[in-house]
Amino acid sequence: MRTVLRTGALRDLRTSASTSLHSNFRNLRGRTTCRLPAVSCYGFHSKSQDCSEALGTAAQLPEAEPVLSAPPRERITIADIKERRAKAGRLIAPTASYSDADMFKAPTVGKPKAKRWDHHLTKESTLREPCKLKQAAKHLKQPGLISLGGGLPCPEYFPISSLTLHIPRPPHFSEAATLADGEDVTIGKYDASSSPPPPPKQSSPEPPPPSRQQVQQQPEYDLSIALNYAQATGSAQMTRFVTEHTELVHGPIPYADWRVCLTVGSTSALEQTLRMLCDGGGVASRRDSLLTEEFSFSTALETAAPLGVGVVGVRMDEQGLLPGDMERILDCWEPGLRGGRRKPHVLYTVPSGQNPTGATQGEQRRREIYEVARRHDVFIVEDEPYYYLQMPDKGNGKGEGRGVATTGDVEEFLEGLIPSYLSMDVDGRVLRMDSFSKVVVPGSRLGWVTASEQIIERFIRHAEVANQGPSGFSQVILHKLLDERWGHEGYLRWLMNLRMEYAKRRDVMVEACDEFLPRELVTWNTPQAGMFHWLKVNHELHPHASTKSILEMEEEIFNSCISRGVLVARGSWFRAEQDRPPPGLYFRATFAAATPENMREAIRRLGEAIRESYQI
């Protein structure tokens, strides 16, 4: 029982399943190289053929078997989504409506379902019951029902009648262009209701019923809906947008029952996910551990620590996680040698522009890691705030060699992005975390997770009691901007523009490092994505290498930086295994925030601090 009613939407989708599949086929943009076995996996022939068989990447294959390159992808296009929306009609999703990705995604006929993860869930997670008050919202759709049930305030008492935003018009995204020629858009309180409450005590005649065109253009979301309580999944309106966006970028996802849930950003999504999968504390705990990069996002480490979850660092190279090292750790795991901890069953990874190292896993690397995860029954948490900030090689404005499109073609942009774990997930063993923080605004505290139905259902149960879903202000503002005004194409153009802005900043930072840092001591790889530059200082060449520890050298340089007026992050802050000595002397510098001039000055000061410490 669901409160969302879309005029004939679901029925249309079901009955037009085969037509839509064929229209997907027509939209291959020349990539009609669909090999038959994989086609059956994606639902064109729905005989009961097992998906992993069809793809030839079954976990049971001997280790020596080569990892297959990408299976063919028949991307869902913006045109497909427009067609689907036109068929579905206007989205009617009043206050507290339930929604899920299935209502909005392409038919998944014939695809296998995700595997079950009962054996990975924690007791805490399995004990979560549905929120009774949220469930009661399903009755709100009953015509004529007078609700005395929920604690939803009457929008009449919301002290905000409208919000006006001034926003860029794609593709003119700069601040200057927006100020000069941006668009004013207003979000009203009752924009979406078919019959807004008449103003009190007015004797004017009944307004005429709205025309068909007016109805079609009428907003689908407004302040009366957004600012009231909602389902913990987030609004139907934003659920539709992120579902479609996920399909455009990662689709077709190999299994059928994937879902999304909007989040209060990836920080909170990770905390919920770890509590769902890892049981570390307490006497009767499973003593779980988490695999992650040997240098990992410090907040992730700070999330795991109080949960009692052990963290195991996997060695890295310039492409991040080394699958061989991950396999070695899993193959050789001895609880007796690991403080009684169970063999890890969860990997937390930041595949693109990793925080802090800036490393980006190439496609083959991701496939190899996925295969290791399959062999060892490891669940993957893919945290991708920097995914869209994949950049061309430095100084190569055309992005040659990395497939990063710098032209204005949205399709080319999507093709050039390194495939995500989600897109290769034949088992449903990936939970992907997306966030609007780094690509729209961090203050939105808005993101979403994508995973199998089972995992998302458990995630929602936690969200119901943890935060009741993301802020309505954020959702309605981002919906107006991304869905209503820009649409999918405008948003993708925004992302294309943004990653080129970051590429320029990255180039300034790398050039400053070339100019101001002692090259005989400091080395780096030019980041291919994200916001971070990771600098390795050769500790063995330090004049006091025999008496000073790496941590002491790091502290000395850090303090000297502070006294010179520059803040960089210490590499040791990110060590996955905090109780082990760091493998080297590192600093993280971000090119996201400072002006180009300040970035150059900051790197000059860092160079001075290093020289002083090394007495050169």
In the complex, which residues of this chain contact ligand PLP (CB under 6 A)? 265-267, 297, 350, 355, 383, 385, 435, 437, 442, 447
Query: What's the full length of the chain, in residues?
Result: 616
Amino acid at 80: D
- Contact at 8 Å (CB) between 418 and 352? yes
Distance between CA 339 and CA 158 in Å, rounded? 55
Q: Looking at beta carbons only, is 270 or 550 nearer to ligand PLP?
A: 270
**Contact between residue 570 and residue 558 where contact means Cβ atoms under 8 Å apart:** yes
Give the DSSP per-residue string, 513-550: HHHHS-TTTEE----SBSSEEEEEE-GGGSTTTTTS-H
Q: How far is CA 468 from CA 176, 263, 302, 465, in A?
A: 38, 9, 23, 6
Q: Which is nearer to ligand PLP, 265 or 313 (CB)?
A: 265
The Cα angle at residue 212 between residues 91 and 477, in degrees rounded to 5: 40
Q: How far is the CB of 442 from ligand PLP (least distance, A)?
A: 5
Write phi, then psi, for 418 (nearest 5 degrees). -65, 130
The least CB distance from residue 113 to ligand PLP, in Å, is 29
CB 44 within 8 Å of CB 21? yes
Q: Say if CB 354 and CB 360 are below 8 A apart.
A: yes
Residue 193 or 578 with smaller CB distance to ligand PLP = 578
Minimum gap (Å) between residue 354 Cβ and ligand PLP: 7
For residues 416 and 418, give the distance between their C-alpha atoms in angstroms, rounded to a whole number: 6
Q: Give least dist CB 11 to ligand PLP, A.
A: 36
Measured distance CA(553)–CA(96) in Å, rounded: 55
CB closer to ligand PLP, 242 vs 550: 242
- Whole-angstrom distance, CA of residue 391 vs CA of residue 405: 9
Report in angstroms how near the CB of residue 26 gets to ligand PLP at its nearest: 37
* Shortest distance (Å) from residue 268 CB to ligand PLP: 7
Which residue number, 84 or 438, has a Cβ lying nearer to ligand PLP?
438
Please report how close the Cβ of residue 81 comes to ligand PLP at its closest, in angstroms: 25
Query: What is the closest distance, in whole angstroms, from the C-beta atom of residue 383 to ligand PLP in the complex?
Result: 5
Provide, rounded to whole angstroms, the least separation between the CB of residue 293 and ligand PLP.
10
Of the pair 408, 442, the CB lying nearest ligand PLP is at 442
Question: Look-up: residue for tokens 């890892």?
Answer: 278
Tokens of 373: 């995860």
Q: In this complex, which beta carbon is closest to ligand PLP, that of residue 41 or of residue 433?
A: 433
Give the nearer residue to ligand PLP in terms of CB position, either 61 or 498. 498
* Residue closer to ligand PLP, measured from CB, 3 or 355: 355
By beta-carbon proximity to ligand PLP, the closer residue of 224 and 357 is 357
Long-range contacts of 16-19 (CB under 8 A, 24+ apart): 16/87, 17/107, 17/109, 18/109
Strand (E) or helix (H) holding 323? helix 323-331
Q: How far is the CB of 487 from ligand PLP (least distance, A)?
A: 23
Task: Please state the separation of Cα 176 from the chain's center in Å.
Answer: 29
Strand 522-523 relative to strand 447-452, pairing: unpaired
Q: What is the 3-state secondary structure (H, E, C) of 300-322?
A: HHHHHHHHCCEEEEECEECCEEC
Provide the token pair at 240: 């539709």
Taken in order 521, 301, 355, 601, the sign of the CA dihedral is negative
Residue 104 Cβ vs ligand PLP, minimum distance, rounded to whole Å: 22
For 368, the token pair is 């190899």
Our CB check for ligand PLP shows the closer of 44 and 387 to be 387
Q: Is 414 helix (H, G, I), strand (E, B) or coil?
A: helix
